[in-house]
């Protein structure tokens, strides 16, 4: 089969590799759609993990083979797959900190080499613990491109739950790329008033279409508008949905005392934050991180995506064959005016 193999030094090459063989409790999925996630981009761009690896974890496809002990799935089932599942029994799982569970950190989906998600390939092998608890069937009428949003929506829904928003809260979402726009949709569902920022005008237009008050973060009117809407207090919650330098400082400036600030995009150890301790301590703000998916939200995230309640397919700007993944990565890293989500179609002819 064909796969996009990370070979080190920020390089990805299309190679012919062996189609994975499955064990008695595993399944083989033909990948139809896989979204490009910035977490994988950082691993490639900053050489965070040793090569070779096949990345890609926002995976939707068709079951083409099942092991002899598999009873939940049959060939022909259309599915999405999560690549991490926690043990549900350890210290961290008991506290619902699933992303810190040692079992969760084991990737259970591979296209070969060290398991790394594998969705940037034509087939992936799904290991037994993921088959048991980490797959969802795609209903008829739902496209693979829509379905591949289940995992990223789950990660955003997890952060929204941690914020515990009240109806009428004022929320600032900094960054309106694909993930930021999902946050805008989910925050609006809670009844919150959303102020959203992005330097790209097209993204602000989309954000406004979803009900946000959209601003360029470089304009003074953004911070003024939030204070005007809150009798001078500033936002009740802030989501930092991109890793641009200086945004955490802005998040503090546009948040009221006691506000919650969620860091969602700061996933590389190279990203440093320098802020005033007093802004957190004296201002009694809560600064926290939210990372990866929550297995407790798996069913709900699938429902939100499959129902069409979130118009996610409208956020896909680029659909590319596997042979053009380098172009897709470049587009995701350096978006043009109208670029949003990039989805890879491994089965599409080059």
Angstrom CA distances, 20 to 29, 73, 90, 109, 197, stand at 10, 18, 31, 10, 43
Answer yes or no: pTM beyond 0.85.
yes
Task: List average pLDDT for each run of 10 residues in the chain, which is 350 residues long.
Answer: 97 98 98 96 93 98 98 98 97 98 97 98 98 98 98 98 96 98 98 98 98 97 97 98 94 98 92 93 98 97 97 96 97 94 87
Q: What pLDDT does residue 348 have?
A: 73
Torsion of CA 154, 155, 156, 159, to 10 degrees: 120
Give the CATH number of domain 154-289: 3.40.50.720
Q: Which region holds residue 50: left if phi is over 0, alpha if psi is between -120 and 50, else beta? A: beta
Q: What pLDDT does residue 117 have?
A: 98
How far apart CA 183 and CA 226 sit, in angstroms, is 18
- Judging by DSSP bridges, how do beta strands 255-263 and 286-289 pair with one another? parallel
SS3 string of the chain?
Answer: CEEEEEEECCEEEEEECCCCCCCCCCEEEEEEEEECCHHHHHHHHCCCCCCCECCCCEEEEEEEEECCCCCCCCCCCEEEECCCCCCCCCHHHHCCCHHHCCCCCCCCEECCCECCCCCCECEEEECHHHHHHCEEECCCCCCHHHHCCHHHHHHHHHHHHHHCCCCCCEEEEECCCHHHHHHHHHHHHCCCEEEEECCCHHHHHHHHHCCCEEECCCCHHHHHHHHHHCCCCCEEEEEECCCCCCHHHHHHHCEEEEEEEEECCCCCCCCCCCCCHHHHHCCCCEEEECCCCCHHHHHHHHHHHHCCCCCHHHHEEEEEEHHHHHHHHHHHHCCCCCCCEEEEECCCCC
How far apart CA 51 and CA 40 sit, in angstroms, is 13
Spatial contact of 313 and 336, defined as CB atoms under 8 Å apart: no
In sequence order, the 6+-apart residues with CB closer than 8 A to the CB of 325 are 4, 12, 14, 36, 120, 344
Domain boundaries, the chain: 2-149+310-345, 154-289
Q: What pLDDT does residue 211 have?
A: 97
First CA to last CA distance, the chain: 13
Nearest to 296 by CA among 81, 58, 103, 85: 85
Q: Do domains 2-149+310-345 and 154-289 have the same CATH topology?
A: no
Give the CATH number of domain 2-149+310-345: 3.90.180.10
């Amino acid at each position: 089969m064909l796969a996009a193999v990370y070979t080190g030094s920020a390089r990805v090459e299309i190679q012919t590799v062996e189609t994975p063989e499955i064990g008695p409790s595993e399944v083989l999925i033909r990948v139809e759609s896989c979204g490009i996630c910035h977490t994988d981009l950082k691993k490639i761009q900053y050489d965070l993990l040793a090569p070779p690896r096949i990345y890609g974890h926002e995976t939707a496809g068709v079951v083409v083979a099942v092991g002899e002990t598999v009873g939940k799935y049959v060939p022909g089932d259309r599915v999405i797959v999560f690549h991490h599942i926690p043990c549900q029994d350890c210290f961290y799982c008991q506290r619902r900190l699933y992303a810190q569970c040692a079992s969760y950190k084991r990737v259970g989906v591979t296209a070969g080499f060290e398991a790394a998600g594998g969705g940037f390939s034509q087939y992936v092998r799904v290991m037994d613990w993921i088959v048991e608890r980490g797959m969802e069937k795609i209903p008829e009428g739902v496209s693979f491109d829509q379905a591949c949003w289940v995992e990223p929506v789950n990660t955003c829904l997890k952060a929204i739950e941690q914020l515990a928003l009240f109806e009428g809260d004022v929320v600032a979402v900094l960054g309106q790329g694909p993930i930021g726009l999902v946050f805008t949709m989910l925050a609006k569902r809670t009844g919150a008033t959303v102020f959203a920022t992005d330097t790209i005008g097209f993204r602000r237009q989309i954000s406004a279409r979803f009900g946000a008050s959209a601003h360029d973060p470089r304009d003074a009117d953004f911070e003024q508008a939030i204070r005007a809407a809150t009798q001078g207090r500033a936002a009740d919650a802030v989501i930092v949905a991109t890793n641009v330098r200086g945004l955490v400082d802005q998040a503090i400036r546009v948040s009221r005392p006691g506000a919650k600030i969620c860091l969602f995009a700061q996933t590389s150890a190279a990203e440093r934050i320098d802020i005033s301790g007093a802004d957190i301590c004296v201002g009694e703000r809560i600064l926290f991180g939210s990372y990866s998916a929550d297995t407790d939200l798996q069913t709900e995230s699938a429902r939100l995506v499959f129902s069409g309640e979130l118009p996610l397919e409208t956020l896909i700007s680029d659909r590319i064959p596997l042979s053009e993944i380098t172009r897709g990565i470049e587009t995701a890293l350096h978006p043009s005016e109208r670029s949003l989500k990039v989805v890879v179609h491994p089965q599409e002819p080059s």
